[in-house]
Amino acid sequence: MPTDLRRVGGYQPKASGPRRESPFAGQVQARETGTGTSAAREYWETGQATGRAAGQAPPEVAVPAGFTTFPGEIWPAPRSSVEKFYPTLTYFNEVDRGGHFAAWEEPELFATEIRAAFKSLR
């Protein structure tokens, strides 16, 4: 079986699309390969299951959780809300830069936060 996407179904990547580092690269890939519908189905099915389970509390998180809030995030999360959803919260931090795509925008800061969150597990 060919593993090169260019050989599958006559796939021809567009040179003018976003670079691989772009946060939209996955969306472009889904559009170009025709897999967007199957990817969206996951979200739809999850939403349907959530709707059917309305009124029931989700199971508690049983593993250690770390949380960093970034100033450019779509919905900033205060510590009180995070503690409600993650009762095993072991790390919480508010940083001064970054946003919804923090791993892409501030990779060093993001990696530092991951390390700090789970340092106690080493």
Percent of the chain with pLDDT strictly greater than 90:
33
What's the whole-model pTM score? 0.55
Give me the pLDDT at residue 7, please: 47
For residue 65, the surrounding DSSP H or E stretch is: strand 65-69
> Pick from 97, 96, 99: which is nearest to 23 by CA?
99
Q: Which stretches within 34-68 are classed as H helix? A: 36-52
Segment 6-20, tens digit of pLDDT:
444 454 555 555 455
Give me the pLDDT at residue 107, please: 94
pLDDT above 70 (res 98): yes
CA distance 102 to 36: 24
List the chain domain ranges.
Answer: 23-56, 65-121
Residue 114, token pair as written in the block: 């991951």
Give me the pLDDT at residue 119, please: 92
